[in-house]
Homo-oligomer: A and B are copies of this chain.
Amino acid sequence: MVTLYDVAKSAGVSPKTVSRVMNGDGPVGKATRESVEAAMQALGYVPSSAARALRSAKSGLIGVVSGAISYTDDNPLLAGLPEIYILRGIQDVLDEKRLTVLLTDTGGRADAAPRLLHTLAQHRVDGTIYVAPYHQQVDLPPPTSVAAPLVVANGFADDATSAVVPDDYTGQRALVDGLIARGHRRIAYLQLPHALLATQHRTRAYQDAHRAAGLPLDPALVIVADRIDGDAEARTATLQHAIEALLATSPLPTAICCGNDRMALAVYGMLRARGLRIPDDISVAGYDDYRLISETLYPALTTVALPYREIGRQAARLLTEPKAEPRRICVPGPVHWRESVATIA
């Protein structure tokens, strides 16, 4: 490997001068600079960040702990994509700051985190972003000797740890407000399991929207329609029952809010199997703006975007532009109104 010493020798200067050329600290004569740059070019010199990190205690690495990649396989409730977008957002910011992502994966087991943080510590990351698979409170291992700052994305830990989470309340509220504004009065809500924080926030938003509009809340219209455990078949059955219960109410709801786009996709099929047209007979909305589904479905699906990329960006900024005190940021996502929702005259 070509080292800085080789460059120095080739350019006929001292190693320190080469260092100055690279880092721009200290003054360097024009002629010297040019000969050094020529030598670097000619030799194909690539500086060693290991050596640099050793001396300067800055690795230029940001550790990311994620379960995304694993969850895609194992936990069908989670699409896996969220963390991908979050990762993209992180990279957006880190690219500008010339930092590189050191990626570690929990393999779906949260108890792998201590090991991963230890690995990151070995590499002396300048900071760590812990990406939660979905909006939740996460248990972090005690901040042992790992002094590097830590931010949680898509979840939160404790008051001492900065975090960035999606604003589930605002998203669902905007959706239901919009449905009401479009003339809907009986709006069903097929919830994800209550265990999810997102469900709690969104349910509150659903209720508040009704109250704000002076509409009654019919408990028959709010049904849990998915489950965390169980295979695809069991989950389909759960949804099936929910739809049947819904279609047994009277008068029928004019709109159905689904816990996510995946559920909306299944709902399309089930409603059609019963001869209902979307949106003529009944409107359908999702959540996530999982574009692969929302844009491809016919008619295209109205849904609330989850601002994952922005969550990643915010998390990276929080980490690299350290403020005095820990912060918690709530990022709202817009509603994408598409053809699956009709306006009632």
Interface residues of A in 1-48 (CB under 8 A from B): 1-2, 43-48
B298 contacts A236, C-beta separation under 8 Å: yes
Of A107, A269, A272, A293, the most chain B CB neighbours within 10 A belong to A269
A47-61 Cβ-contact flags toward B at 8 Å (1 or 0): 111110110010101
Report the separation of the CA atoms of residues A309 and B69 in the bound assembly, to the nearest whole angstrom. 10
Contact, CB under 8 Å: B296 / A145: no
In the complex, the answer to whether B91 meets A69 with C-beta atoms within 8 Å is yes
Tier of interface size on chain A: 35 or more
Interface presence of A104 (CB below 8 A): yes
Closest to A43 in B: B145
Let me know if B88 and A121 touch, CB within 8 A: no
Question: Are A296 and B232 in touch, CB under 8 angstroms?
Answer: yes
5 new A-B contacts, CB < 8 A, other than A48-B124, A50-B123, are: A44-B145, A64-B103, A73-B85, A81-B84, A102-B103
- Do B53 and A262 have beta carbons less than 8 Å apart? no
Interface contact A49-B124, CB-CB below 8 Å: yes
Copies of this protein chain in the complex: 2
Decide: A121 near B296, CB < 8 A? Known: A69-B84, A70-B88, A103-B103.
no
Task: Check B50–A69 contact: CB distance below 8 A.
Answer: no
For residues 85 through 106 of chain A, which have their beta carbon under 8 Å from a beta carbon of chain B? 85, 87-88, 91, 95, 100-105
CB-CB under 8 A from A309, the residues of chain B are 73
Using an 8 Å CB-CB cutoff, how does the interface string of A171-193 with B read, 1 for contact, 0 for none?
A: 00000000000000000000000
Q: B2, A145: Cβ atoms under 8 Å? A: yes
In the bound assembly, the distance between CA atoms of A145 and B48 in angstroms comes to: 13
- Interfacial chain B residues near A158, Cβ < 8 Å: none
A146 close to B (CB within 8 Å): yes
Chain B residues with CB below 8 A from A59, complex form: 50
In the complex, whether A197 has a CB less than 8 A from a CB of chain B is: no
Complex interface residues of chain A between 248 and 300 (CB less than 8 A to chain B): 262, 265-266, 268-270, 272-273, 290-293, 295-298, 300
> CB distance B81 to A123 under 8 Å?
no
Contact B146 A295 (CB under 8 A): no
When chains A and B are docked, how far (Å) is the Cα of A68 from the Cα of B88? 9
Contact of A119 among B100, B145, B262, B295 (CB under 8 A): B100
Q: Are B104 and A100 within 8 A (Cβ)?
A: yes
On whether the beta carbons of A295 and B49 are closer than 8 Å, the reply is: no
Residues of B within 8 A of A80 (CB): 81, 84
| Contact status A269-B293, CB under 8 Å | no
A327 contacts B by Cβ under 8 Å: no
* Residue A72 CB within 8 A of the other chain: yes
Contact A72 B85 (CB under 8 A): yes
Q: Is A76 an interface residue (CB 8 A)?
A: yes
A103: B residues at CB distance < 8 A: 64, 87, 100-103
